[in-house]
Amino acid sequence: MFEVTVEAGFSSGHYLRNYHGKCENPHGHNYRVLVTLAGAELDEAGLLLDFKLLKTLLRPVVDYLDHRMINDLSPFTELNPSAENLARYFFEETSRALLEKTGGRVHVKDCTIFETDTSFARYYE
């Protein structure tokens, strides 16, 4: 199997509902997201997927959240914007975009969200 990973960053505010502690108050993070794809077949150029294309697919998802209060944005008006839920959100959004582009040749293996340099959450199926 082959894997490729791209990384992007965004700076956003959030707060956690149903949580008692500092993170129940609005605050910001310089988030980093890593999206890893996996597949057994390379294209004619020897690529699993062009990094540039993957970055293009990731960009609208990042732009949606960047410099916003995540709690104000669907689906996080209902869903708590934890690192775990953000990781699943990136997984689902990039999976959908990727399916349209590659017809299933390549799939998203996992998405990782760093809230800080030392704390991250990962989602995979």
Q: Taking CB under 5 A as the rule, which mask of x and - marks residues 5-34 in contact with Zn ion?
A: ------------------x-----------
**Nearer Cβ to Zn ion, position 12 or 102?**
12
- The beta strand positions in the chain, using DSSP E, are 2-14, 27-39, 107-116, 119-123
Residue at shortest CB range from Zn ion = 23
If the CB atoms of residues 12 and 94 are measured against Zn ion, the closer one turns out to be: 12
Q: Quick one: 27 or 101, whose CB is closer to Zn ion? A: 27
Q: Is 121 buried (19+), middle (13-18) or exposed (0-12) by CB count in 10 A?
A: middle
Residues that bind Zn ion (CB under 5 A): 23
